[in-house]
Amino acid sequence: MSRVVLGVGGGIAAYKAADLLRKLTEAGSDVTVVPTAAALEFVGAPTWAALSHHPVAADVWTGAADVPHVRLGREADLVVVAPATADLMARAAHGLADDLLTNTLLTARCPVLFVPAMHTEMWELPATVENVATLRRRGAVVLEPASGRLTGSDTGKGRLPEPAEIARLAELLLLRGDALPCDLVGRHVVVSAGGTREAVDPVRFLGNASSGKQGYALAAVAAARGARVTLISANAELPDPAAVDVVRVTSAVELAEAVTKAAEDADAVVMAAAVADFRPATSAGYKIKKTDAQPAPIALEKNPDVLAGLVAASRPGQVLVGFAAETGDESGTVLEHGRAKLARKGCDLLVVNAVGDGLAFGQPDNAAVILGADGSETEVPLGPKALLAAAVWDAVSALFARP
């Protein structure tokens, strides 16, 4: 069982941390909550104790015989601080330790995840910017806050990301056993996700079973690694990842236009969307009525090959990643089809995963082999889709590092 310390800072978003605590415990982690004194003004100790099944203290004197200010950090597999206030991050960045949480941060030798929540002006303050940069430089993962409604009537950047998104990232850090590198800072990456729909008439379409979960995981992990992320989302019914610019499209043609535009200044493009190969040659302007006669055949025409177009227009140093959802057949295995597609497309990396029979589409987990144009093959075993996303960005980052 993983041991997690959940640090709770003194912000109004502390109430969301109760939901995060439940998600962490339901995932099988043993969670000890360490609030600041200010956090207890928002959510009381009995709530944290009841949900975590552990006693709760904010000071270093309670239970001093067990030396909690040293023991908690040493024994933790992960420390999550949510919400992380500007004051709390400032104290952590400067190595101050005036309560149990900051002492725990000093002694932690595991991955540390800060999830900021504050007003926009506080987040953009130069002092906060420098403190965040310091924490990241020292190996901590500091998420970008979400945008939206803040305290009162204010809106802007500074919302706590949704607890489910934080929990997924916490799971990823526990599985990896180390912090995510901030190796995408200053990079713009484009990710496509979901499945396109090709209209037959105003109410019917040709589509596929892609949920968009893998693409959304790629976007969220890239943002956690410091990238500026544009997510081209095709019909995915998922909440927007924090700090990600989302462009919504429906058809393959719309997706091609959006990806091509976003790719103009992108350092990497990851085509995780399931793009329809064909569309109806004509789309009726009215609902086709059901009659006793056999329906007319639907004539199809090819959609643009988005990945091939990106390869043709690519710039030196730009990394292009394709996805291949494959099934084996009499002509070859999943990997054989994937290798052929990589050679045909000419991209830098191709992520090959088997689909069908409850695999990949709509599932929380995925397994794949990442094929490189250099002949490399990296197998990623079955696990949460964020784990595959991290492996993809590891491979992309390695290509950025090429001389």
Q: Angle between the 163-176 and 385-400 helix axes, to the nearest 10 degrees?
A: 70
Q: Which entry of 208, 235, 353, 366 is annotated as an active-site residue? A: 208
Phi (first) and psi of residue 379, to 5 degrees: -85, 130
Residues 6+ apart with CB under 8 A from 312: none
Structural tokens at position 313: 């227009």
Burial of 308 (0-12, 13-18, 19+ CB in 10 A): middle
Q: What is the dihedral of CA 280, 282, 285, 290, to 10 degrees?
A: -60
Contact predicate 50/82, CB 8 Å = no
Could you tell me whether strands 188-194 and 155-159 are parallel, antiparallel, or unpaired per DSSP bridges? unpaired
Structural tokens at position 18: 């109760």
Pick from 298, 195, 179: nearest CA to 248: 195
Contact predicate 75/110, CB 8 Å = no
Specify which residues 146 forms β-bridges with. 159
Please confirm, yes or no, whether 208 is among the known catalytic residues. Answer: yes
Mind telling me the catalytic residues?
208
